Each structure stands twice: as structure tokens, then as C-alpha cells.
Structure 1
């Protein structure tokens, strides 16, 4: 086995899966008008073109657990990279609307796989004292991928006329993903499998050697013994039969709460929302890209440097609390018709709080709370729940914000923001009541948190 340079090398390579997650999700943002013109789409068809990748994300999340268990974490990421490549090429060449949809779904499957496997891989190779910051790098990569594709789309749009953009330019936007996908695929062959997966396959010498390589200068004997003990538990059988239903519910709730606190409302509908806050002539799309994107990226970096110092629970509770206050303030201002540019402060405060907490830290917790024997299956279920919640929030916000709806007319547009604010308050309580602190512990030490006695009541915060 070729030894990697260090754990940072492994993290940076695997985090490219997160970058492609963000790139593939956001690439369509610059091509919607061109697609509508080229394929002569009505509003429903355009909406489906924009959201079709989400179908693939759900499918990818369902199969990611089985793929990563059977073919390995690296093997599953290689499959995701190939799907990204196929989608990039296929989305750039179709003459038929439904062919385009097919390739967008294929790309979504890649996103669904990468969204689960990338943080899991990083968690399984990271030293316990650095695991939080290294897994958070994947969230940074997702946001960075979104920002990169915004500028790529803008650059391509400047290459020709509007007619050229409607016939050829949009193809270059989707085709541009070939470059990062190809780099990701090639670099995956420079990284090994994770020590946990190798040990589960009985390849103990390789697993031990790799564990020593990524924990340079540290005594790995106790950690290796913990891995050996954890492997004595059979890897067959269901999650419920292992008495782990409690931790699975916690994982599902973390995934769902990340979405139902409203983040994708701002990521997907920010131009509409910001335009309603002010009569300013500022280019709303540019405002979204620069302000929301920059704040998101900046505070994700803050999370990377604080999650292993302050712990998961404080960041989650403080962040969710600020998100709740921001949403309740926005909803109240809308209800009282006190709309103004000052609300941008609450929007950016909400984005900053999410980037510091529920954005990266949820993925950190999901990647580390599940025991070795069920990690692939359990994480796959939790990520499926996350994509499903994403879909529900994305579909219901326009309905609640429809000016002709009873909810909008009764609460003057404030109801959905109040709802997300209440979910933020519930998130604070849920984390306080049920989520244990996990910083500084090995993945195997965390397994002891989920004994039947503890999951029945309040988790032990040690």
C-alpha cells in the first residue's frame, strides 16, 4: 500500500467530493434562462429542470451506504466521480429536454453518494483531536464549489452574445464540471481506503499501518485495541436488532433540523427575499453571491478552527439560537410591514450562524456518532432524511410565500420565517437534551455513549 503524505492530503483530496457537491448543485443557476429558451420550457418544466438533480441526490443517498460497505469508502467516491463526469458530459450535449433531465439525475446520484461518503471517509482517517476541523473542511469545500461555479458561469456568459449563450454557452457551463470531476477521479487513486474499513475486511496489517501513518507521533495502541473490540460485534443484522435505534433517531433528527430551520430558503430564494426587503437598485443576484456567499465561507472557516476547541454542542446551540432570533425578527418585521434594508443584517446573521453551526457541525456529528458496524447503513438513512427534508422545505416555502395564499394574507408573509424560527428554538433544546459532546474522542470511544441505559434518558455529556 502506498503511504499517503499525511491526513491533510487525504482530507483535501476527499473534500473535492464536497466541492463537486456544491459545483453540481449550483451550476444550473447561471443557465436557467438559456435552458428555458433553448428547450422552450414552461414554468413547470423549468422548475423540474432545476430540481431534477434532487431526485438523484435521494437515490444516491439510499445506495451510498451499501456501496461504501461493499466497495469501500474510496470505491464509493470513485463511483461518484465517474457519475459527475458522465453528468457533466451528458448535460452539455443533449438536444432533448428529457435527455438533459436524465444526466442531471445522474449527477444528483453522484452528489447523494459524495454528500455521505466524503465526511465519513474524513472522519475515519482523522485523529480524534482534529476530526471536527477536518470534517468541517468538507462543508467549506461545498460552499467554495458553489462560489467557484458562480464565477465560472459569469465568465462563460461574458464570452458571447445572449444568442450564443442560449445555444452554446449553457453547454459550456455544464461541461466545465469535467475538469474538477476528472481531477477528483485521478486524485482518488492517490489515497488509500480508511483504516476502519480495512479492518472490517480483515486486512489488519494495512489498517494498522495506515492508522499509524495518519496519527504521526501518537501512540495508536489503545485506539487500535478499541477498533479490534468494536469489530468483535457482528457487522450483520439490522440497526434496531443492535439496540441502536436511539442513535439512528438522533442522526435523523440532526439531518432534518439542519434543513427545517430554513437554510435552503435563503440559498434558493435569496434574490426574491432580499428584493422584498428593500427597494434598492443594487443587483440582487450579485448581492447574494458576494454577501451571502462570503459570509457563509468566512464563518465556515471560523467553525473549522473552533469546533475541536469549543466542542460540537456549544456551537450547535449558539448557532441555532442566533438562527432562531434572526428568523423570528424577519417574520415579525414582515407581519408588521416594517420591511427595510436593515433586515439584511438578520439575513447575514442567520447565514453566519448556520455556517458556524448546523452547516459543518451537523456533518461532523453524523460522521462520528454511529458505531463502526452500522456506520454505512445508518449514515445513509440519515442523509436520505436530510435530502428529503431539503425537498420538502424547498417545495413548501413558495407555497407559504404565495401572495394569494391564506397564510400569506393572514400573516403578511411572516409565517414561514416564524416556523423556521421555532424549529431553531427546538434545535437548541434537542441538542441540549439528546446530543452528547464528542470532541477529542476516538470513534470507538464514542460507541460507549449508546448503551441502552443512556439512550433511554439524557445522553451523558463527558
Structure 2
């Protein structure tokens, strides 16, 4: 297999973790109402049902970074695949509320592990010249997972309306269609588990633990023999000078941690999840008919996926910093225009155009680049732990946005809420302009030497 084909194949397999992340988080949108009705859930039970997966996400992030540094990236990806597979299958056949909660938490753990280790693994295998593009595939996989969940939910909803319930399949896909919506997740989860058997361990993790022969073999498949030897020598030179993970809390690594976590938090405070999860509500307020809420979710999900290709196209040629600065300030403008539309009752397709512009600018900057930046600015011996902290920041930020959006919407109005989101994008632009440095075209070891010249 040619080296470029091998690298692409491994990247796509690892990116399935992102697909499952997106699918699992989005599929819930189609099952909330039927589950609430069937199990007669109170408002507090409904809220716990929706949000309990976040606990699993936090738990998955908390243990996966440390564990991946100890036993390897590949083994922890297997753990994520098992969590996705078991939770999807068991949740679909659960008949008790406590069991459903338990399996939703398990699914959340899978999401937490995948959101942490998949981009980390890709960054450690990717050649320097294409690392940004390959890590961005992970963000693309998330958007594809979201879109597939929306399409699957819409298809099964319409399928159930036109067929009679017969046997087990009828029960799953017609009588209680929400079970079928979740059971679909078994297919990509099983594929992820099986395909992981053919991917290698991270060569940087192997080199860190003295398994140089294995690391060289993997690097050779990706870069050719000569470049592989040079890169392994560079990896070993850095690994021989680095110390413990406690260095993450000291300069200069602490400064990098602050940079990555602030950019991650501000990315989520742009309001992207409010647009994705509350899309039908926003479109209804915008004067667009939303009798088929799932259909409009498909439209938003498709836009988010398509626009991510811009980042894949340009992240390694234009660089991280220009894309981030351009995207964040343009996202602020698009959100401000959306707010003005609400405040001035400019509804219909003008409103949809403004929201779509925000998705465009987010998809090539704030969305994927937080993963790219966080996976490449830290040295190998702290990369897993540092990325865990960044991803944990992402989930906490998501929780804050999802908690506050309905409150802000009802108290100050959607228009003013969009101006708050725009303000967060402006802050992100100003912070990145002052602190974000360019890393395109550099190996992970070259970036480490730039940050900490004392390690030369």
C-alpha cells in the first residue's frame, strides 16, 4: 500500500470515533419526545435523560488521556468502540428508565473517549505537511455523524408512518421507532471496532517507551525509509529531554494550556450547539415553517458538513492562524447580522442566510481548528493529559451554553442572545490575534523545540 494511502486509511478509521461522537449526540434529538411520552417522564426526568450523557463524556475524557499515555492510543480507541457498541445495543432494548440512563452515560463515556483520543491519535501519525488537513477530517467526521443521525431519524420517522408493525423489526422500527433510531448506531460502532484491528499504534507513543523498531516500521509506511529515520531521530531527541506530566503546570507548557483551553471554550461560546440543537426553534422564530423539524435539522447538518471541507482544503496551505482570525471575526459579523434580523423582524430566507453564514465561518475556523491546535502544540509526554483538559473544557462549555440558551432566549430574546454569541467570537479573535502562533508545515518535534528551546 502506498504511504499516502496508508496514512489516509488510518486517518479515516480513527475519524470514525468522530463520526460516532456526532451520531450519538445528535440521534437523541429524534427520541426525546417519544421516550418522554412512553415512559411518562417528568420535566426533571426528561432533563436528566438528555443531560446525563454529559457525565459520561466528562468521565470518558477524565480517564482516557491518562490511560492513553500509559497503555497506548490504539487500546483506548478500542475501549471507545466497545462503549459505543454496547450502549447502542443495550439502550435500544431497555424497558426501564434507570437502565436507559445507565446506557446513556455509557454512550457519553464513549463520546468522551473518542473526542479526546481520535484527534490525538491522528495528529501523532500525520505527516507535518498534511497534519492540519488530516486532523480536520475528525471534525468533518463529527459533522457527517450529526447529519447521518438526522437523516436516519427522518427516514425512520417516515418509514414508521407507512408500515404496519410485524415481529421484532416492526417493534423496533415502527411501533417504538425511537429504539430503531438508536440501534442504527450499532452499525458504525461495530465497523469502528473491527477496523481498529488493522491500524497501528502511535509511533510517537511507541518511541516514548523504547519500542523504536515498531515506531520506525510505522513511520516508514507513512513517510518512506529516509524520512522515517530522520523523524524517529527527532522524536527520540525530544523524548529523551522531556520529563513528567507535572511540567504541564509550569511555564512554558502552562501558557500553552491556557491558550488551548481558552480557544476551546470560546469556540463553544460562539453558540454553535444552540444553532445545531435548537435549530428548529430558531427557524420557527425566523418565520420559516418548521412542521417537519427533523427535515430542517438535516438542512443545518448538511450545511455544517459541507462548509467543513473549506478547512480541509486550506488549513495546511493558508495556515491555522489566518483561518482562525478570519473565521472568528466573520462569525461575529454573521451572528450580529442574525441578531439584527431578529430585533428588526427581518424573517424568512434572509434570516436563514445569516445563520448559514455563521455555520460557514465556524466550520472552517472555530470548529476544526481547536482540535488541530490542541493536538499539535504540546510535547508527546503531556499531549494526552493536555488534550483531556481541553476536551473537558469543551464539554463543560457545551453544558453551559445548552443550559443558558433557553433561559437567555426567554429572558432577553433570541436577538440579544445572538449578540452575546457574537461578542464571544470577537473575544476569541482578539485573544487569538495576541496569542496564537503559526504551526503549519512543522513536525510535532519542531513545534516543541520552538516552544521550549531549552530542550534542544
**1:260 and 2:260 are equivalent in the alignment:** no
Correspondence list, 1:6-25, <5 A: 6-25=6-25
Once superposed, what is the RMSD of the aligned Cα atoms? Answer: 2.1
> Counterparts of 1:298 and 1:221 in 2: how far apart (Å)?
38
Question: 2:281 maps to which residue?
Answer: 272
> Counterparts of 2:230 and 2:330 in 1: how far apart (Å)?
40
Question: 2:198 maps to which residue?
Answer: 190
Question: 2:343 maps to which residue?
Answer: 335
**1:250 and 2:250 are equivalent in the alignment:** no
Q: Deviations over 1:212-269 (max 9, x none)?
A: 2111376234322221111113442411246411011111112101101111110111
Question: 1:323 maps to which residue?
Answer: 331
The gaps in structure 1 that reach 5 residues or longer are 454-462
Q: Which moved more, 1:300-309 or 1:209-218?
A: 209-218
**1:437 and 2:445 are equivalent in the alignment:** no
> Counterparts of 2:62 and 2:179 in 1: how far apart (Å)?
30
Q: Deviations over 1:353-406 (max 9, x none)?
A: 11111111211111111111110111111111111001001101111111xx3x
> Counterparts of 2:158 and 2:384 in 1: how far apart (Å)?
44
Question: 1:64 maps to which residue?
Answer: 64
Question: 2:303 maps to which residue?
Answer: 295
Question: 1:149 maps to which residue?
Answer: 149
The gaps in structure 2 that reach 5 residues or longer are 166-170
What displacement does 1:153 show?
A: 2.0
Q: Which moved more, 1:295-304 or 1:386-395?
A: 295-304
Question: 2:424 maps to which residue?
Answer: 423
Matched-pair contact (CA < 8 Å) for 2:69–2:381: no
Question: 1:91 maps to which residue?
Answer: 91
User: Structure 2 vs 1, CA of residues 317 and 64 (structure 1 numbering), >3 Å: closer, same or farther?
Assistant: same
Q: TM-score, normalised by structure 1?
A: 0.91
Question: 2:394 maps to which residue?
Answer: 386
Matched-pair contact (CA < 8 Å) for 2:147–2:305: no
Q: Deviations over 1:263-286 (max 9, x none)?
A: 111011111111101154674542
Q: Figure out how many residues of one structure are paired with residues of the other and give that number.
A: 443
What displacement does 1:146 show?
A: 1.4
What displacement does 1:166 show?
A: 7.9
Q: TM-score, normalised by structure 2?
A: 0.92
> Counterparts of 1:160 and 1:435 in 2: how far apart (Å)?
50
What displacement does 1:311 show?
A: 0.5
Q: Deviations over 1:124-182 (max 9, x none)?
A: 00100010111111111111111112222223223435996685322122122111111
Matched-pair contact (CA < 8 Å) for 1:233–1:373: no
User: Structure 2 vs 1, CA of residues 240 and 273 (structure 1 numbering), >3 Å: closer, same or farther?
Assistant: same
> Counterparts of 2:366 and 2:58 in 1: how far apart (Å)?
20
Q: Deviations over 1:308-359 (max 9, x none)?
A: 0110111111111111001112223333444443111110000011111111
SS in 2 for 1:193: coil
